[in-house]
Chain A
């Protein structure tokens, strides 16, 4: 177990934030005993679990962390296939789609960047419709092919970029490769939190009332200010990016995190469901928690890959 200094520090700060969260929850509950805070309690408890599992896997070793992200992709893909319309005749195609996960993450683990980046957009993209043709159910073909490819792109291709951050050559030795993952995940999740807090405090003008009536311009811009500033400060510590580039990385995470959130929201609206699953108490399903990360992961990865590698 060898955790680089800056990454260890970042982990400790995150644990401290969780302790503060748990303590505030405790005090709020104590001061308002008549109210039910079950959801808040579950939410914070789930955060503890998620952080504990992530940090544990990253600390034990790179391979464990890659397996963890592969497993998260599996849960997300399964959840996606469970809520969207699929035909009974697509069962075998969906089975093949699941097989993309071990392969994609295997390419990550052997650092085969070339295949990692084209495997799903080209090979899986072309393979799934061929498998469908062999079954031969043409009623609803276009629709089903579109849904299945979209599912694999969002939950496997996009999310696997987090794992690829771990195998990039270490350019910031004080943070190591896990610094990149901590930076991305922390900034993405903190972006959600700060947009929520700014929106609660100042929110007036709705930004996209048709999709997400709770999202406001004030929340979005407040989040943008917070995240770009924190990012400019944290980026040089956890990533190989300079302060100026980190600022832009923060801006990118802020905007794309927001987009990911509202895109998954639109899917749920279309299906008339509130949560995509039940897996994470207080949060909903995997997609409810990873919605922003689906967008921020590949965009941050390629920003970083272009400027620092």
Chain B
């Protein structure tokens, strides 16, 4: 069933994660994982995570065994990841992103068609509802895009994941990687909401709650 090119890409992907990404994530970084059992094992499912670093997707993908990696698909900005040919090839084939147009005005159905296709295929989508990495260790405004995706597919569970510490290890605009342990707090699937606003409120309060399980917040006083 495999095309030769797909097979090669999948082998490259496994090698890339086994030899580079997983050692970086688990040894150089190190994760404090809470709620591991809440992680959706099989798709169709959606992971909604906060976004502070390029490492976010790689860390979330590393939570999965090598054999499942090709089913885990980060949804990422086409205007950033598809700009130069190498980055585009790498993002689409090795990471397996689902590109999404942030700037061009297109109909919602067309905008999210890649996401629906992947979910129909039983994939696990990684979505950053903030839409951008923002300032280190701060959660920016949560956008409603994710709500529009699940609005017509109510059976797909959304698992919230809060990460903390990656904005220190590799923040936006920095090239120097500095090792830090990072918290990955996996919550229980969100409940259904009627409106986009309710959804945003629920996700915000869930992130707040998951924050209390972090140990790298560096509280003082």
Contact = CB atoms under 8 A, between A and B. Distances in A.
Question: Are A and B subunits of one complex?
Answer: yes
B180 to A, nearest CB: 5
Interface in B29-59: 30-33
A83 B220 contact: no
B215 A275 contact: yes
Contacts of A91: 168, 171, 174, 176, 178
Interface string A268-291: 001111111111000001000000
Contacts of B180: 78, 81-82
B216 interface: yes
A218 interface: no
A78 B218 contact: no
B134 interface: no
Nearest to A274: B215
A261 interface: no
A95 B165 CA distance: 15
B107 interface: no
Contacts of A83: 181, 215-216, 218
Contacts, number: 63
Nearest to A85: B218
A79 B178 contact: no
A211 interface: no
A92 B176 contact: yes
A18 to B, nearest CB: 26
Given A88-B168, A95-B178, A270-B220, 18 more contacts: A74-B179, A78-B179, A82-B30, A82-B180, A82-B182, A82-B215, A86-B218, A88-B136, A91-B168, A91-B178, A98-B179, A271-B215, A274-B215, A277-B215, A278-B30, A278-B31, A278-B181, A279-B30
Contacts of A67: none
Q: Is the interface of A mostly helix, strand, loop or mixed?
A: helix
Nearest to A92: B176
Nearest to B177: A95
B142 to A, nearest CB: 23
A277 B219 CA distance: 15
Interface in A68-114: 74-75, 78-79, 81-86, 88, 91-92, 94-95, 98
A271 B220 contact: yes
Contacts of A277: 30, 32, 181, 215
26 contacts: A78-B179, A78-B180, A79-B30, A79-B181, A82-B30, A82-B165, A82-B215, A82-B216, A83-B218, A85-B218, A86-B168, A88-B136, A88-B137, A91-B174, A91-B178, A92-B178, A94-B178, A95-B176, A271-B220, A273-B215, A274-B215, A276-B215, A277-B30, A277-B181, A278-B30, A278-B33
Nearest to A95: B178
Q: How large is the interface on B (under 10, 10 to 19, 20 to 34, 35 or more residues)?
A: 20 to 34
Contacts of B32: 277-278
Interface size on A, as a range, is: 20 to 34
Nearest to B216: A82
A276 B110 CA distance: 47
Nearest to B28: A78
Interface in A258-309: 270-279, 285
A51 B7 CA distance: 42
Given A85-B220, A277-B215, A78 B181 contact: yes
Contacts of B216: 82-83
Contacts of A82: 30, 165, 180-182, 215-216
Contacts of A272: 219
Nearest to A75: B30
Nearest to B174: A91
A95 to B, nearest CB: 5
Interface string B140-177: 00000000000000000000000001001001001010
A82 B171 CA distance: 15
A120 to B, nearest CB: 19
Contacts of B171: 88, 91
Nearest first, the 10 closest Cβ-Cβ pairs linking A and B are A82-B181, A85-B218, A278-B32, A273-B215, A82-B216, A82-B180, A91-B178, A95-B178, A78-B179, A272-B219
Contacts of A285: 181
A31 B83 CA distance: 64
B28 to A, nearest CB: 8
A40 to B, nearest CB: 20
A277 B31 CA distance: 8
Contacts of B220: 85, 270-271
A284 to B, nearest CB: 10
A84 B218 contact: yes
A147 to B, nearest CB: 10
